[in-house]
Amino acid sequence: MSTAVLAKPHSQEQSAAAETEPITPAAYHKVFRTFALVLGVAGVSLGLLNQQRVTRELEILPMWWSIPALSAVFASTLVLALTAYFAPIRILCVLLRTISIGYVLALITWPLAYSGPPLEDDFRCWLWSVNALAAMAAAVAWPPRIALPYLALIPAGSVLLNAYAAEHAEWGNVIEDIAMATTAATVYVSMGLIGLNTGWRLDEIKASAQARAAKAAATAARNQERERIDGLIHDGVISTLLNASQGGDTAVLARQSRRTLDQIDGLRAGVEAARAFRGSEAVAYLRSAAMDISEDVIVNLDAPREMDSFTIPAHAVRAIGAGLAEALTNSIRHADVPGRTTHRTVSISMYPERCRVSVHDNGRGFDPRSIPADRLGLAVSIRGRMARVPGGSSRVESTPGGGTNVTLFWRSSDD
């Protein structure tokens, strides 16, 4: 990459976000190539327009000056026009610097090569006609600390060169010509500097946006992992300990403890099987999740005969299984009404591209609006868990005295 390009990231004006993230100068390079093409085409056009001046000076100036000067300015712009959109940025920068440096050397050595006769007004030195081109090449190829002094000196130098070669120079006109040449060059240099700075700013903004997106993604991943751990602690560890303290069924406690320990081991290992469940495997997994909580629960199934002909994503099956386990645990813990038998039913509907599980009881019920939003049972273990699954959702319906129905949905996003 060119020194001009490398100079941009070290600007003191750069934002803190871009300082900490690598910037890919895609927009900057696109603007750079566009200016290179414009300069190339402009140089070739000016070469054609200055044929008479060039021919005139070839007659009065030695070849040791004419060939290098013409090559540095016009040959370089021809190569620039032909290669602007595919040559490496470093090569384009070399060509632009060749133009700007070659122009300065030609300007300085012209009085040494010129020995007369005086130039007519119609045949002014061709260097004068391309001073704005050289100034813009310097603005694109060099940092502003070099380009701006170049702008201040080169247009004036080209006008003074004409005055040197003229038979009778009127200094009032010379000063006017310097002002006009400097003004014209300033316009082109400003276009170059502003265009390149805009390109760099776009790259900086893009890098900053990518950094913010990456930071947000990392934060979301940490939050998701934290919620996953919270859910495991609540659904497994706390529920198991609570059931044990209440003297629950020993066989159920053993299965629940074993399942919780397996989940902790998987979490500690940092891996979780990603293979999709066949339909029959998903039903078995969900049935087992329900029976681990209570052997008295009734499990109903609605599924096609050929359940092995389709699969359900593992993360969806596990989320639904954990959600129904939490719903059953809540029901056993809170739904019973003294003097009345509470019936619990799990209904599984399993079809290609979709799955629905309903956990229903006829117990005491509750007002869902009265449950604090930060309660882990509903917020994390059921609603939060299903919301994190692509295509997942949940619904909790209950009324005081009217029982509770928790429905867990998953539908393929491609369905």
Domain end among 173, 193, 213: 213
Length of the chain: 415
Give the chain's domain count: 2
Q: Is residue 249 part of a domain?
A: no
Of 179, 195, 213, the domain-final residue: 213
pLDDT of res. 8: 47
Q: Residue 127 CB: number of other CB atoms within 10 A?
A: 22
Q: At what angle do helices 314-334 and 279-293 cross, to 10 degrees?
A: 20
Confidence of residue 76 (pLDDT cuts 50, 70, 90): very high
Indicate whether 393 and 300 sit together in one domain. yes
Sign of CA dihedral 268, 356, 364, 297: negative
| Same domain, yes or no: 325 and 402 | yes
Burial class for 413, CB neighbours closer than 10 Å (0-12, 13-18, 19+): exposed
322 with 177, same domain: the answer is no
Q: What is the pTM of this model?
A: 0.53
Sheet of 298-302, strands arranged across: 298-302, 344-351, 354-361, 404-411, 392-398
pLDDT tens string 361-409? 999 888 877 776 555 456 556 887 888 888 999 999 998 988 999 999 9
Neighbours of 284 (CB within 10 A): 13
Among residues 163, 186, 213, the one where a domain terminates is 213
Question: 185 and 281, same structural domain?
Answer: no
Whether 145 has a pLDDT exceeding 60, the answer reads yes
Question: Is 236 a residue whose pLDDT tops 60?
Answer: no
State the CATH number of the domain containing residue 316. 3.30.565.10
Residue 9: which domain range?
Answer: 3-213
242 lies in a domain? no
Instruction: Note whether residue 44 is domain-resident.
Output: yes
264 domain-assigned: no
Tell me how far apart the alpha carbons of residues 102 and 43 are, in angstroms, rounded to a whole number.
14
Label residue 255 by pLDDT band (50, 70, 90): low
Question: Residue 143 CA to chain centroid, in angstroms?
Answer: 28
- Of 204, 274, 293, 248, the C-alpha closest to 20 is 204
| Residue 234 included in any domain | no
The residue behind tokens 């030609």 is 106
Mean pLDDT throughout 116-131?
A: 76
- Say if residue 17 is in the same domain as residue 143: yes
- 144 domain-assigned: yes
Residue 209 and residue 70 in one domain: yes
Query: Closest Cα to residue 406, out of 326, 315, 295?
Result: 326
Angle at 215 between CA 213 and CA 220, to 5 degrees: 90
Give the pLDDT band (50/70/90) at residue 9. Answer: very low
The DSSP line for 184-244 is: HHHHHHHHHHHHHHHHHHHHHHHHHHHHHHHHHHHHHHHHHHHHHHHHHIIIIIIHHHHHH
Residues 155 and 290 in one domain: no
Query: pLDDT band at 206, cuts 50/70/90?
Result: confident
C-alpha closest to that of 127 among 150, 97, 157: 157
Same structural domain, 205 and 287: no
Q: For 165-184, write each residue's pLDDT tens digit.
A: 776 767 778 888 888 888 88
Which of 182-186, 341-345, 411-415 bottoms out in mean pLDDT, i.e. has the lowest?
Answer: 411-415
Given pLDDT bands bounded at 50, 70 and 90, which one contains residue 248?
low
Answer whether 154's CB lies under 8 Å from 134's CB: yes
Same-domain check for residues 76 and 176 = yes
pLDDT of residue 211: 72
Element spanning 174, H or E: helix 171-232
Joined tokens for residue 206: 């893009």
Assess whether pLDDT exceeds 90 at residue 80: yes
Mark whether 181 and 38 lie in a shared domain.
yes
- What would the pLDDT profile of 211-223 be if each residue is shown by its tens digit? 776 676 556 556 6
- Does residue 115 sit in the same domain as residue 206? yes
Residues in CB range of 347: below 8 A, 6 or more apart:
299, 300, 301, 302, 356, 357, 358, 360
Q: What is the mean pLDDT of the chain?
A: 80
Do 46 and 168 fall within a single domain? yes
- 367 located within any domain: yes
- Residue 91 has phi, psi (to 5 degrees) of -65, -40
Helical segments of 270-345, H only: 279-293, 314-334
Around Cβ 331, how many Cβ atoms within 10 Å?
Answer: 24
Task: Tell whether the model's pLDDT for residue 347 goes beyond 80.
Answer: yes
Backbone angles phi, psi at 372, to 5 degrees: -55, 145
Tell me: the pLDDT tens digits for 257-316?
666 666 665 555 444 445 688 888 888 889 888 888 888 889 999 999 888 889 999 888
Helix (H, G, I), strand (E, B) or coil at 311: strand
Residue 260 is assigned to a structural domain of this protein:
no
pLDDT digits (tens, 9 = 90+) for 34-51: 999 999 999 999 999 988
